[in-house]
Each structure stands twice: as C-alpha cells, then as structure tokens.
Amino acid sequence: MPKKPPAADNKPDVQSIARNKRARFDYHILETFEAGLVLVGTEVKSLREGRANISDAYGIIRDGEAFLLNLHISPYERGGYTNHEPERTRKLLLHRKEIRRLIGAVERQGLTLIPLELYFKDGVAKVALALGKGKQLHDKRETERGRDAAREIARAVRTR
C-alpha cells in the first residue's frame, strides 16, 4: 500500500458556511464542542452553495442521541423530487462521553445547546456547538458597554 506524501502543513482546511452572530450576545458560552451532521445528498450540495441559516437553531438530547432542530438548509435548486425538507431534525455525531456530559449539563443544570458555526472541515460538514446559559438584560447591556469602550479605545489609538 503506497504511503501518502507528508502534507506541507497539517492544518485542516476549514470553509465557513454560516455563523450565529447573536449566540455570544444572548448567551454566556461555557464550553464548545465540534459535531458532525447526518445529512442527505441535496443538503450537502445546498451547503456547498452556502445556503444555510443557523440563527434559530438549537440542540436537544433525546434517547441518548443529540439532534439539531430548526437548522434551515434551503432546498437545492436542481434537486428535483429527491430534494430534502428545509428544517428537518438532523442527528449530531458526537462521542458517547460528550453526549453524557451534555445530558448532565442540559437536564440538570438547565443549559442550552447553541450552534455557533456551520462549516466544512476537510470536506466534511461540521457544526460548532456550545453549552450556554442565557444572559439577562443587564448582562447584555454590560457586554455592549464593553464593546463600545473597546471601540473607543481602538479609535483613540488609531488617531494618534
């Protein structure tokens, strides 16, 4: 069996598809996970065109398995009768140990599973999941105040 030539760099090729920009504003992110997705053919083709929305998506744990709900992947334009349902429930591929940790966090501690980003890593569709705790209104204001202060500092440094 021929050996593969050593790669110039061992960094995986990551191509972002969709990002949940509101997640870090609405939740305190405690821990992140990388999970694979169980997809059908037309979903992958649609993702390659960048036609996905994860802003309303969230994860659940049911019967010892992880699922992603409300992930909208637009139907593939040239799909025909074999096209997929845009907002179907999709299974997440995680290690058993990770699922056990998530069960404890979601059920006992009342945390939420939030998708942060959907991307291709070496040609395989992945989702970055986070365990998050919802922020109160005063927490959101504090976050915004910190961003404004950082923006002002950057502006002052630029003008000097």
> What pLDDT digit, counting tens, does each position of 111-149 carry?
889 999 999 999 899 999 999 888 888 888 888 899 999
Question: What are the Cα distances from residue 54, in Å, to 3, 21, 25, 133?
Answer: 40, 9, 15, 18
Residue 109: other Cβ atoms inside 10 A? 10
Quickly state the pLDDT bin for 77 (edges 50, 70, 90): confident
Tell whether the model's pLDDT for residue 105 goes beyond 90: no
| pLDDT in the model for residue 65 | 92
Query: Class of 14-135 per CATH?
Result: mainly beta
